[in-house]
Structure 1
Amino acid sequence: MMAFFWQGTLLLSLVAAVSVYADMKLDCGPDFVTLVWTETRSQADMSLFRLGSCFPTSFTAREAVFSVDLNDCNFRKMVTGDQLIYTNDLTYISSPDSRISPFNHPVLCAYERPKDWYPLIYDPVFNTYGQGDLVFHTGIMNDDFSGPAESTSFPLGAFIPIMASVEQRTHQPLLLLLEECVAAATPELQPETQLYQIITNKGCLVDSKTSNSKFQPRQKSSEIHLSLQAFRFSLGKEVFIHCKLVAWDPIGLDNTKKACHYVKDHGWELLDNPAYSNLCDCCETTCKSRRMRSTASGKVRMVQKSVLGPLIITNGNS
């Protein structure tokens, strides 16, 4: 693949206050990326830079170096016309006492689309890293959620099995929730992006009111399984599912921390304890915490965004 020259354009997009003090060199190889970020500010901690989900391959007092594969670090892949584009974000995670504010900088590598390229091979599970050494997984699964899906093409009306989980490691057991999910035709959301609402209002599966979509019974608190009925949005075209995952203490559910789906002829039901389905009543209005402080001191709340796709929904009659 032949890489286009994007580095100069990308540097122009960096916030002016940052570009005065830093320089980025980007080498887009055939299947790898080498990025070198050089800082002149002595206050910068180079270990706090991340490329997507990846830590620096190496760093010094002034430089952070990333030498990574395009299949790693949560690079987003998109095909437009004759180009195959990989995008990511270089981020700086500032500590509370740092003089340097957190910031994001876009990273983009564009290649000539191979004539024989077609998205037949798909790895539906990828890892993202949140605070506290938590590892989040999301994926498109097979019918019984026992393994990855063999295909990312689903006929209209079929079920798309979606799994999300969090590896807890040194943390106490956590409850994983899907706070928001939307479908879009692009791997990145912009203000003008057309969306199909799946989960809104702090955990309400609104799609279940007009379809047979539902949450499946939990096997463990750190996993959540969603059977999403394939919809007409972007029929026959690539679809990406954007979700916000929240890991929370298993105790202390309220109407802003829940998983609710609509059961026909019954109403809204709470996945984890139907006896408390009144927490889902706000799904018809706006779900807000009734307490001044929604999180007590010491409670764990980790948030991670994820993107699944591309997948394609086909017209089963064609």
Structure 2
Amino acid sequence: MISGLLLLVLVGSAMAQRDLSVDCGSDGWVTVHWRPGLGFSQTLDQSKALLGTCPPSSLMSEDTLLFRVLVRDCGFIQQVMEGRVTYSNMLIYARRPELPIITQLVKCDYDSPVGEESEFSAEEPDENREQETFNMEIMNPDFSGPAPSLRFGLGSSIPIRATVEPRSHRSLRIYMKSCEFATDADIRRATQVHPIIANAGCLMESKSGNSSFLPRRHSDEMRLYLEAFRFALGQKIFLHCDLEACVVRSLNVDRKACHYVPEKRRWTLLDEPSQSYACACCDSTCPRTGLMIDGVSVHKVLGPLVIVENEPESSGSPDSRASSAHGMSASRVWLLVFVVALALVTVMGVLVISYYLCFWRGGRLGYRPSRDLLTKY
């Protein structure tokens, strides 16, 4: 007979322990009673709560939520380790935007699988299985090919693309979990390091600069524009990134792509904007579930690239250079027109004044009316 053993792992900052009761039924049903513990100033809103991808079944009381779901639904992650099967999921409650989200990890352990085995479990990797291939490169402005130069002017955009090539029939989604600029290809030897992406997928530079993720064209590709900022100007720098690819099952705070949208004044989840509450932790510290999910990860290093001042907008792009040259030519033409016009006005002014002094006023200086003529008659 299948027996269930509940294992609870509470995730979050050092706050009071949340009230949680979980019944992992042998028939595959999971019943959860959860009191998020919002405090006296907040009212529990069940529309802000999820167990994986499933909303609460009901509101048990003014401060307690009830979830009753099947272990095969709601995005439960199945892990097979040493003959035991663990089903894991995340309870999430999104408070006001200025407050961090509340999360709790729920696990149910079984002696054998409940129902059919999962296609994507955390079994030990097969050494004979082909591995996925990750690629990361700096692109030209429209992502049609590699960048012609790795010199970028301060304030210009650095287009970056990361991809994964699956070696099986699985459809994978790629994530950029962390990225840093460093002054050395070996980050341990770097004298300067600056975080670009942190908190398991938060693009930190999107809040302090004009950087953002671009909408996905394919699940196995990520693109972003990174604004070149004042970091180790004129020096060779390297971009270090941790990439990960996995089968998409449910929202997971360990795997996300969040960027800050100034117009909305909030963080937005790239793939599911309606679930952007998962990005609420980007301004603080995002909780880590520590789930050993069967994903594929790799560390990539790009460079060296150089950020300099007073460079064309787009890393030596022919279009930007042509635009710059056109702008300079136009400026010179207008300057020439202004100088010629000013010279003509000056010459005309000199002629008018000369005529007045020499012919008009000067010719009448010796003129005096004769008294004889005035009194003769």
Query: Which TM-score tier does this pair reach, normalised by the shorter chain?
Result: 0.5 to 0.7
- Pairing partner for 1:304 from 298, 309, 318: 298
What's the % identity of the aligned pairs? Answer: 43
Matched, 1:194 2:192: yes
Aligned AA (1:272): D
Aligned to 2:137: 139
Q: Deviations over 1:91-114 (max 9, x none)?
A: xxxxx8xxxxxxxxxxxxxxxxxx
**Equivalences for residues 22-33 of structure 1 within 5 A:** none
Secondary structure at the residue paired with 1:133?
Answer: coil
The CA deviation at 1:191 is 6.8
Count of residue pairs the alignment pairs up: 184
Q: Within 2, Cα distance between the matches of 1:230 and 1:192? A: 19
The CA deviation at 1:214 is 0.3
The CA deviation at 1:306 is 0.4
Aligned AA (1:285): S
The CA deviation at 1:183 is 0.2
Q: Within 2, Cα distance between the matches of 1:169 and 1:193? A: 38
- Identify if the C-alpha distance between structure 1 residues 218 and 243 changes in structure 2 by more than 3 Å, giving closer, same or farther: same
Aligned to 2:159: 161
Aligned AA (2:285): T
Aligned to 1:314: 308
Q: Counting helix residues as a fraction of each chain, which structure ranks higher?
A: 2
**Equivalences for residues 227-246 of structure 1 within 5 A:** 227-246=225-244
Q: Within 2, Cα distance between the matches of 1:303 and 1:193? A: 26
Aligned to 2:214: 216
**Structure with larger Rg:** 2
TM-score (norm 1): 0.55
TM-score (norm 2): 0.47
Q: Counting strand residues as a fraction of each chain, which structure ranks higher?
A: 1
The CA deviation at 1:170 is 0.6
**Equivalences for residues 14-25 of structure 1 within 5 A:** none
Q: Within 1, Cα distance between the matches of 2:220 and 2:134? A: 10
Q: Deviations over 1:181-234 (max 9, x none)?
A: 000111101176421110001000011111010000100000000100001101
The CA deviation at 1:132 is 4.5
- Identify if the C-alpha distance between structure 1 residues 193 and 252 changes in structure 2 by more than 3 Å, giving closer, same or farther: farther
- Identify if the C-alpha distance between structure 1 residues 168 and 190 changes in structure 2 by more than 3 Å, giving closer, same or farther: same
Quote the RMSD (CA, aligned, Å).
1.9
Q: Deviations over 1:36-62 (max 9, x none)?
A: xxxxxxxxxxxxxxxxxxxxxxxxxxx
Native 8 Å contact 1:221 1:250 kept in 2: no
Q: Within 2, Cα distance between the matches of 1:132 and 1:317? A: 44
The CA deviation at 1:300 is 3.1
Q: Within 2, Cα distance between the matches of 1:316 and 1:222? A: 36
Aligned AA (1:208): S
Secondary structure at the residue paired with 1:208?
Answer: helix
Native 8 Å contact 1:205 1:259 kept in 2: yes
Q: Within 1, Cα distance between the matches of 2:190 and 2:181? A: 14
Q: Within 1, Cα distance between the matches of 2:196 and 2:169? A: 30
**Equivalences for residues 1-318 of structure 1 within 5 A:** 132-190=130-188, 193-266=191-264, 267-289=266-288, 294-295=291-292, 299-316=293-310
The CA deviation at 1:251 is 2.2
Q: Deviations over 1:284-313 (max 9, x none)?
A: 121124x5x635xxx531110000000011
Q: Within 1, Cα distance between the matches of 2:169 and 2:230? A: 40
Native 8 Å contact 2:152 2:311 kept in 1: no
Aligned AA (2:234): G
Native 8 Å contact 1:156 1:231 kept in 2: yes
Native 8 Å contact 1:247 1:300 kept in 2: no
Native 8 Å contact 1:240 1:310 kept in 2: yes
Q: Within 2, Cα distance between the matches of 1:307 and 1:192? A: 13
Native 8 Å contact 2:130 2:167 kept in 1: no
Aligned AA (2:273): P
Native 8 Å contact 1:185 1:238 kept in 2: yes
Aligned AA (1:144): D
Q: Within 2, Cα distance between the matches of 1:184 and 1:171? A: 36
Native 8 Å contact 2:253 2:287 kept in 1: yes
- Identify if the C-alpha distance between structure 1 residues 192 and 144 changes in structure 2 by more than 3 Å, giving closer, same or farther: closer
Q: Within 1, Cα distance between the matches of 2:198 and 2:169? A: 27
- Find runs of 4+ consecutive structure 1 residues off by over 3 angstroms: none
Aligned to 1:33: none
- Identify if the C-alpha distance between structure 1 residues 242 and 317 changes in structure 2 by more than 3 Å, giving closer, same or farther: closer
